[in-house]
Amino acid sequence: MGIRHLIVVKEGVILGIVTDRDLRRPKVSDIFKSWHDLYRISDEFQVEDIMTSPVKSIDAQADIQEAARIMVAHRIGALPVTDAHHGLAGIITETDLLKALILTT
């Protein structure tokens, strides 16, 4: 199981998201030398330098179609899911939506 999205949180507040795509941006990744070094990042970068912020999110009580609409409209592959207090409750991804589609057919 690979991890493609990491939510950045500070003191319970969602600050941003780091995706595998963020790690591959030319300004972030070093010159590609081998497959082993594909995600090698210069030591000069901090998480805040590469994360996407602000980040779209969705309430845990929202319906799955709303999550899909947001993801399609903003061309994103994952949404942080927030609880009633706007804290991080989880994440929903494209894969989660596809699994839900399979289960309903």
The domain tally of the chain equals 1
Amino acid 61: pLDDT = 96
- Going residue by residue through the chain, which has 105 residues, state the pLDDT in tens, using 9 for 90 and above: 578 899 999 998 999 999 888 777 655 555 555 555 555 566 677 888 888 999 999 999 999 999 999 999 999 999 999 999 889 999 999 999 999 889 876
CATH number at residue 23: 3.10.580.10
Domain of residue 17 covers 5-104
Q: Is 46 helix (H, G, I), strand (E, B) or coil?
A: coil
Site of tokens 């594909």: 38
What is the rounded distance in angstroms from the CA atom of residue 21 to the CA atom of residue 18?
8
Amino acid 3: pLDDT = 83
Cis status of the peptide bond prior to 54, with omega within 30 of 0: yes
